[in-house]
Amino acid sequence: MSWLPMLGLTALPHLGGLYGGYVTRKQVKTWYTTLNKPSWRPPNAAFPIVWTTLYTGMGYGSYLVWKECGGFTEDAVVPLGFYGLQLALNWAWTPIFFGAHKLKMALIEIVMLTGAVGATMVSWYPVNRTASLLLTPYLAWLCLATSLNYCIWRDNPDEDEKEE
């Protein structure tokens, strides 16, 4: 059963992704279509493909760190703690943006998420370089997503006020 932790830790991020997909599904076809969005935004069909890939990479990276630290040990507290923080922030963004329609709050949240991913990468690097590098596409995507969130917030100034 040595493959069980690898499978479980690799699958874990997808749980939030499934919930996020549930929250997003209706909103992408209704509310999201009413927003002003930049011309350079990726097509909607790209998002599930990208997130499946990113969740798999971060999950497998967490397994590598977990394995290198000997499981949930004292050595794993910082690297897996940062990982847990960024994962919670990741899972929270979709309900804030798509569920609550809070564009400014989502922007603040995704900036914190991006910082948490950077901290996770720094904490993982001395433990397992490959695990840290597996987060590189995620960090790059978050830079794009943060820019997109900013542009949507900037170009839809009344959206946050409508919801209050």
Give every residue of the chain whose pLDDT is below 50, as ranges: none
pLDDT at 160: 56
The verdict on residue 107 lying in a domain is yes
Total of domains in the chain: 1
Query: What CATH number is attached to the domain comprising 152?
Result: 1.20.1260.100
Whole-angstrom Cα distance, residue 156 to residue 151? 8
The verdict on residue 163 lying in a domain is no
The verdict on residue 137 lying in a domain is yes
pLDDT at 7: 96
The alpha helices in 95-155, defined as continuous H runs, are: 103-124, 129-134, 136-155
pTM, whole model, 2 decimals? 0.92
The verdict on residue 164 lying in a domain is no
pLDDT at 18: 86
The verdict on residue 73 lying in a domain is yes
The verdict on residue 135 lying in a domain is yes
| Residue 87, domain extent | 3-34+43-158
Q: Which residues contact 13 (CB under 8 A, 6 or more apart)?
A: 55, 56, 58, 59, 62, 87, 90
The verdict on residue 77 lying in a domain is yes
The verdict on residue 123 lying in a domain is yes
